[in-house]
């Protein structure tokens, strides 16, 4: 190989040199510029050359040596890769991003959506105490003392002479509203409720409800069904349907469970709806005349409907949450999925 060819070969090698690590940079230096490196060897050979060759190639060799040196400096600074665009190394001294945006909890988000649907229909929002007396949680709602219906809701009792308990549903709030307000009454009561249940993927000892109540002259079961159909379509989309199955609650007569066509499979049958095509979303019924009377409302003049749903259940269907316990663990990997950036510090 002629000296000129060898120079051309090394020129190409230098131009294409790349290094990802400090070791590779050093390997380049040794191979080119080290005491036994290729460029150094070229200069050794140079000394033996004819004056004519020296004149012809000397300048090119100096340029090659400078190019190899410059390449080495560049690679040392970690800025070259295949001689192309600089590699982004990042600045380790840059301050870390401290502004993390939080988000509302999925239960809060869903509660707000449920409340908004009923507010648009003219419902007010009522609140009441979580530690409740027997009268408001049970008695006024037609649960006679010692009646087995109380077993439907496993109660956490509070040691107290008045027999207080953690409310098992927010129907207690509606009793308070009926006691203090003349019909027409149109109100919903969102809130936390407690039941002594073993904690599992499908049950928890506390959860959130939104219960609704409408009392006026001539309120009918058809209006109840229309209201709940509107609610389901507002939240889940116009294609969902509801159906009512006869059921029993001490405070409503007749009573029904409300099923909605499964939003996961569209009604064809899947694991979520246990192949039935329907998922249960709430309980409802016409307020029992005895309950109206207990709260000082004349059942001969007024009638009403009531319904109650679990917010966790609705959120589970909206967001496909597989395990109820996720709502309580405050794992940011779960919570961050609901953050829409609308809540900032």
Residues near ligand PHE (CB under 6 A): 169, 171, 211, 249, 252, 255, 283-285, 306-308
Compute the least distance from the CB of residue 314 to ligand PHE, in Å: 13
In terms of CB distance, is 72 or 231 closer to ligand PHE? 231
Report which DSSP code applies to 170: T
Q: Which residues contact 227 (CB under 8 A, 6 or more apart)?
A: 121, 212, 214, 305, 307
Task: Identify the residue whose tokens are 């409907």.
Answer: 305
Annotate 110-143 with b (16+ C-beta within 10 A) or e (fewer): bbeebbebbeeeebeebebeeebbbebbbebbbb
Looking at the Cβ atoms of 65 and 176, the one nearer to ligand PHE is: 176
We find the least distance from the C-beta atom of residue 284 to ligand PHE, in angstroms, to be 5
Shortest distance (Å) from residue 333 CB to ligand PHE: 32
Interatomic CA distance for residues 117 and 107, integer angstroms: 16
Min separation Cβ 270 and ligand PHE, Å: 25
The three-class DSSP label of residue 133 is coil
CA distances from 267 to 229, 277, 313, 333 (A): 16, 4, 18, 31
Minimum distance from residue 301 beta carbon to ligand PHE (Å): 21
Of 19 and 244, CB closest to ligand PHE:
244
Please, are residues 242 and 228 in contact by the beta-carbon 8 Å criterion? yes
Cα–Cα distance measured from residue 312 to residue 192, given in angstroms and rounded to the nearest whole number: 11
Task: Give least dist CB 168 to ligand PHE, A.
Answer: 7
Q: In what order do the strands lie in the sheet with 252-261?
A: 124-125, 185-194, 206-216, 303-310, 278-287, 252-261, 242-249
Q: Residue 174's closest CA among 127, 241, 206?
A: 127
Shorter beta-carbon distance to ligand PHE: residue 26 or 130 = 130
Nearer to ligand PHE, 103 or 308 (CB): 308
On whether the CB atoms of residues 213 and 170 are closer than 8 A, the answer is no
Nearer to ligand PHE, 306 or 314 (CB): 306
Ramachandran bin of 218, using left for φ above 0, alpha for ψ from -120 to 50, beta for the remaining angles:
left
Q: How far is the CB of 218 from ligand PHE (least distance, A)?
A: 19
- Measured at CB, which residue is nearest to ligand PHE? 308
> From the CB of 315, what's the least distance to ligand PHE, in Å?
17
Is 10 or 211 the residue whose CB approaches ligand PHE more closely? 211
């Amino acid at each position: 190989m002629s000296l000129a060819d060898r120079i051309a070969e090394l020129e190409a090698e230098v131009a294409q040199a790349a290094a990802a690590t400090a070791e590779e940079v050093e390997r380049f230096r040794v191979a080119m510029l080290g005491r036994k490196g290729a460029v150094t060897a070229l200069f050794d050979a140079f000394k033996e050359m004819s004056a004519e060759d020296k004149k012809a190639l000397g300048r090119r060799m100096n340029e090659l040596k400078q190019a190899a040196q410059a390449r080495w400096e560049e690679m040392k600074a970690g800025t070259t890769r295949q001689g192309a665009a600089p590699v982004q190394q990042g600045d380790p001294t840059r301050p870390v991003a401290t502004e993390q945006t939080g988000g509302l909890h999925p239960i809060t988000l869903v509660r707000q959506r449920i409340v908004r649907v009923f507010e648009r229909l003219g419902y007010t929002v009522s609140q009441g105490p979580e530690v409740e007396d027997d009268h408001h949680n049970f008695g006024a709602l037609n649960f006679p003392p010692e009646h087995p219906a109380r077993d439907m809701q496993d109660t956490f009792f509070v040691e107290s002479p008045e027999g207080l308990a953690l409310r098992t549903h927010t129907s207690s709030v509606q009793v308070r509203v009926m006691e203090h307000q003349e019909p027409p009454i149109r109100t919903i009561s969102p809130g936390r409720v407690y039941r002594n249940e073993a904690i599992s993927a499908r049950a928890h000892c506390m959860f959130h409800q939104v219960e609704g109540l409408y009392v006026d002259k001539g309120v009918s079961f058809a209006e109840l069904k229309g209201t709940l159909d509107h609610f389901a379509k507002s939240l889940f989309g116009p294609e969902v349907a509801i159906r009512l199955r006869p059921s029993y609650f001490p405070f409503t007569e007749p009573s029904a469970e409300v099923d909605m066509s499964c939003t996961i499979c569209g009604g064809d049958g899947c694991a979520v709806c246990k192949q039935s095509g329907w998922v249960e979303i709430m309980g409802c019924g016409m307020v029992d005349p005895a309950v109206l009377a207990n709260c000082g409302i004349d059942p001969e003049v007024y009638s009403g409907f009531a319904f109650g749903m679990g917010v966790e259940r609705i959120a589970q269907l909206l967001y496909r949450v597989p395990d109820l316990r996720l709502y309580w663990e405050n794992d940011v990997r779960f919570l961050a999925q609901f953050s829409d950036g609308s809540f900032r510090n």
